[in-house]
Amino acid sequence: MSIALINARVLTTQGFRDDLAVILDGRDIQSLLPLSEVPASTARHDLQGATLLPGYIDAQVNGGGGMLFNNAPTVDTLRRIGEAHRQFGTTGFLPTLISDDAEVMREAIAATRAAIEAGVPGVLGIHLEGPYLAPARKGTHDAGKFRVPDAAEIAMAASLDNGVTLLTLAPERIPVDSIRDLVARGVIVAAGHTAGSYEEIRAGLDAGISGFTHLYNAMSPLQGREPGAVGAALEDRNSWCGIIADGHHVHAGSLRVALAAKPVGKVFLVTDAMPPVGSDDPSYVLYGETITVQDGVVRNAAGSLAGSALDMATAVRNAVQMLGLPLAEAARMASTYPADFLGLSASHGRIAPGYRADLVAVDADLNVVGSWIDGQHAA
């Protein structure tokens, strides 16, 4: 049965509209109509003046709800992570496996496939962050897991057949032919945790790399005589950059530089979230080490940032308040642009007829007051 979402400020592809009802039919958006044209037989859901945005899409979710994907790569873990992040407006996400052994990667891919088959809300695919990374820019990753993949491991990494696969690697650490192979197999390849020179990053882009994982963090910086990974990312017109807008990972001024340098639509929000998001427990175990969030910052014993305690609702709020962006643009950075990066531009990230009914309603303070995944509502 169709449902009309009414009395909301709706972010359409043309901007905000206050005079439209959003008609949901099953898992999809059927139409956007003036309220006067909504059939009398259609059920109505009054949003009481809330703002209706495309559901947030997070391409980098290590954990949530007290669960870390690496520690328990199961369908139940993905369900609990999704539930934790949904309360902050995330209606689609890539569970993210940081560098680990091949068997754990295999288990994580199998769990993701099973979760999608079972219809676990929000699971769009998997993000393999490593293990093909640079020790010099390892961050909190275990460099003992790093390696160069052979043909069999490349095939395994690309084996998810019912969802998106995003793979973060250091371009200087593997042959460019391996990058081409991954891209040919349908994998979205991003550069990250890289010490690569500008030339090495540029070679990776030419081989098919289309994004950068948490821009500025764990990558060679922009300098006058050596542009590094950051310089290559900011210069390139076609690639996307994920950013962690938590006020800890990157200075707001640096994020504004990225927004000024990149074409509109090429910078999107990620959380890099760890288990404390959506949990009362500020601690979790990573690679056998107990890590505790302190004052909103997640660091390991060596002082490296170890993911974040950020949620997407806060990321959008920070984009507005910290970066000075209009809400419409901040919302697109959390929905439309990640959908485009992940190859989902025809089905996700927009409030328009024929698109998936993945939506988030927020109040004047951008707190989430309701969400829909595949047309199913959760207050």
User: Is position 202 annotated in a ligand binding site?
Assistant: no
Band (304; pLDDT cuts 50, 70, 90) = confident
- In contact, 254 and 234? CB cutoff 8 Å: no
| Catalytic residue positions, numbered | 272
Backbone CA torsion sign across 180, 185, 191, 194: negative
The ranges assigned to domains in the chain are 3-53+354-378, 56-341
The DSSP symbol for 263 reads: P
Average pLDDT over the chain reads 97
CB 366 within 8 A of CB 377: no
- pLDDT reported for residue 305: 84
In the predicted structure, residue 301 carries a pLDDT above the cut 90:
no
- 4-19, pLDDT tens digit by residue? 999 999 999 999 999 9
> In the CATH scheme, what architecture does the domain 3-53+354-378 have?
Roll (2.30)
The percentage of residues in the chain with a pLDDT greater than 70, rounded to a whole number, is: 100
Phi, psi of 372 (to 5 degrees): -130, 130
Q: How far apart, in whole angstroms, are the C-alpha atoms of residue 16 and residue 279?
A: 33
Yes or no: say if 11 and 351 are a contact pair by the CB < 8 Å rule: yes
Instruction: Tell me whether the CATH fold assigned to 3-53+354-378 matches the one assigned to 56-341.
Output: no
Average pLDDT, stretch 143-163?
98
Q: Is the pLDDT of residue 299 over 90?
A: no
Is pLDDT of 167 > 90? yes
Beta bridge mates, 359: 54, 372
Identity (one letter) of the amino acid at 157? A
Q: Is the pLDDT of residue 379 over 80?
A: no
Q: Is 356 annotated as a binding residue?
A: no
- Cα distance between residue 157 and residue 165, in whole Å: 8
251 is in an annotated binding site: no
Q: Tell me the pLDDT tens digit for each residue of 82-114.
A: 999 999 999 999 999 999 999 999 999 999 999
Helix locations, 240-311, DSSP H: 252-261
pLDDT at 119: 97
Asked if residue 85 belongs to a known ligand binding site, the reply is: no
Type of residue found at 239: S
d(C-alpha 83, C-alpha 76), whole Å: 11
66 has binding-site annotation: no
Half-sphere exposure of 358 (CA within 13 A, CB side): 25
91 labeled binding residue: no
State residue 269's pLDDT score. Answer: 99
Is 168 assigned to a binding site?
A: no
Span 172-180, average pLDDT: 97
Is the pLDDT at 300 greater than 90? The verdict is no
Each residue's pLDDT tens digit, 40-84:
999 999 999 999 999 999 999 999 999 999 999 999 999 999 999
Query: Is 214 labeled as ligand-binding?
Result: yes
Contact status, residue 368 vs residue 63, Cβ threshold 8 Å: no
C-beta of residue 340 within 8 angstroms of C-beta of residue 349: yes
Residue 249 among known ligand-binding residues: yes
Q: Is residue 199 pLDDT above 90, yes or no?
A: yes
- Confidence category of residue 150, pLDDT binned at 50, 70, 90: very high
Report the sign of the C-alpha dihedral through residues 119, 60, 248, 307, in that order. Answer: positive
| pLDDT value, residue 135 | 98
207 annotated ligand binder: no
Does 129 count as an annotated binding residue?
yes
In this structure, is the dihedral angle defined by the CA atoms of residues 79, 85, 88 and 89, taken in order, positive or negative?
negative
CATH of domain 56-341: 3.20.20.140
Cβ atoms of 5 and 377 within 8 Å: the answer is no
Answer yes or no: are the C-beta atoms of 56 and 91 closer than 8 Å: yes
